[in-house]
């Protein structure tokens, strides 16, 4: 299996002449989906799914029922390519996608804040050519099967490093590759700023980003 890391949470897997792309979101270069036979999406947040990238892919799209319904409403031209993945805790029913065996893992996004409603999130263990890779999306749900490669959300508005370490050790993959790193970038900092501005602003408290060398 060949694994290629693209922007943020997007990863491209190739095996047996087939290509599956996971989570081509707004922080991902559009060409990540070129030539894909299938696209898997973990959840609805913009950094994991972007409609124009789905249109560009010209491939079948697999995700949980709630997001399928949302995409059918927002992008009806994609309706014929949308397929529902059965979710559950910890795993849903296995399926075959473009020659890969796909095991859905989990059901819910990690808690960002108690006042932000949780959305559905489905991770995927993909197996081909005797190798398995686990992309958990935005959750730290342990896989219920052994995996060779863990695609680890390294940082997020909902994560802390102690939990990330414990999750990676619990999964116990021989190889762990960090993904979900755009929070370290300027656009990613904007995600954090948006949350803090919203919650502090509701209490009439000021939040502002101060750059190096800038006075307050």
CA dihedral 100, 31, 183, 160 (to 10 degrees): 10
Whether residues 111 and 39 fall in one domain: yes
- Clarify whether residues 124 and 66 are in a common domain: yes
pLDDT digits (tens, 9 = 90+) for 15-28: 999 999 999 999 99
Residue pLDDT, tens place only, 78-119: 999 999 999 887 888 999 999 999 999 999 999 999 999 999
Residues 17 and 123 in one domain: yes
Whole-number average pLDDT of the chain:
93
pLDDT number for residue 171: 93
**Are residues 19 and 111 located together in one domain of the fold?**
yes
Same domain, 133 and 158: yes
Rounded to whole angstroms, how far apart are CA atoms 122 and 23?
11
Residues 98 and 134 placed together within one structural domain of the fold: yes
- What does the pLDDT look like over 36-90, one tens digit per residue? 999 999 999 999 999 999 999 999 999 999 999 999 999 999 999 999 999 887 8
Report how far residue 43's alpha carbon sits from residue 118's, in angstroms, rounded to the nearest whole number.
Answer: 11
CA neighbor of 43 nearest in space, from 103, 85, 6, 1: 85
Whether 98 and 195 share a structural domain: no
Residues 108 and 153 in one domain: yes
Residue 92: predicted pLDDT: 87
Q: Are residues 115 and 190 in the same domain?
A: no
What is the pLDDT, as a whole number, of residue 187? Answer: 81
- The stretches of the chain forming alpha helices (DSSP H) are 51-57, 65-74, 161-171, 186-201
Residues 139 and 167 in one domain: yes
Q: Domain with 149 in it: what CATH number?
A: 3.60.15.10
pLDDT tens digits along 137-165: 999 999 999 999 999 998 999 999 899 99
Instruction: Please give the tally of structural domains in the chain.
Output: 2
- Do 189 and 139 share a structural domain? no
Strand ranges in 36-188 using DSSP code E only, listed in sequence order: 38-40, 60-63, 82-84, 95-97, 100-105, 123-128, 131-135, 149-153, 175-179
**Whole-angstrom distance, CA of residue 90 vs CA of residue 133:** 16
* pLDDT of 84: 97
Question: Structural domain of residue 7, as residue ranges?
Answer: 2-183
Please classify residue 8 by burial: count the beta carbons closer than 10 Å to its beta carbon, then call 0-12 exposed, 13-18 middle and 19+ buried: buried
- Are 55 and 30 contained in the same domain? yes
The whole-number pLDDT of residue 186 equals 84
Angstrom distance (rounded) from CA 112 to CA 118 = 8
Per-residue exposure over 123-135, b if at least 16 CB sit within 10 Å of its own CB, e if not:
bbbbbbeebbbbb
The percent of residues above 70 in pLDDT, for the chain, comes to 100
Residue holding tokens 């409403």?
Answer: 73
Give the three-class secondary structure for 22. strand
Position 143 scores a pLDDT of 95
């Amino acid at each position: 299996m060949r694994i290629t890391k693209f922007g943020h949470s997007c990863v491209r897997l190739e095996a047996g002449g087939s290509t599956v792309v996971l989570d081509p979101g707004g922080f991902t270069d559009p060409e990540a989906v070129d030539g894909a036979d299938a696209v898997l999406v973990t959840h609805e947040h913009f950094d994991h799914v972007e409609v124009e990238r789905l249109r560009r892919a010209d491939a079948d799209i697999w995700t949980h029922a709630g997001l399928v319904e949302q995409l059918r409403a927002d992008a009806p031209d994609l309706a014929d390519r949308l397929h529902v993945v059965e979710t559950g805790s910890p795993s849903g029913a296995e399926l075959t996608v473009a020659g890969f065996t796909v095991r859905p893992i989990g059901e819910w996004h990690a808690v960002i804040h108690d006042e932000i409603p949780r959305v559905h999130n489905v991770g995927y263990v993909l197996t081909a050519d005797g190798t398995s890779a686990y992309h958990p999306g935005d959750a730290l749900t342990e896989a219920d099967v052994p995996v060779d490669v863990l695609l680890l959300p390294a940082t997020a508005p909902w994560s802390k490093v102690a939990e990330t370490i414990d999750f990676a050790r619990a999964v116990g993959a021989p190889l762990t590759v960090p993904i979900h790193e755009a929070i370290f970038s300027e656009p990613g900092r904007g995600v954090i700023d948006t949350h803090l501005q919203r919650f502090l602003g509701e209490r009439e408290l000021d939040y502002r980003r101060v750059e190096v060398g800038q006075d307050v």
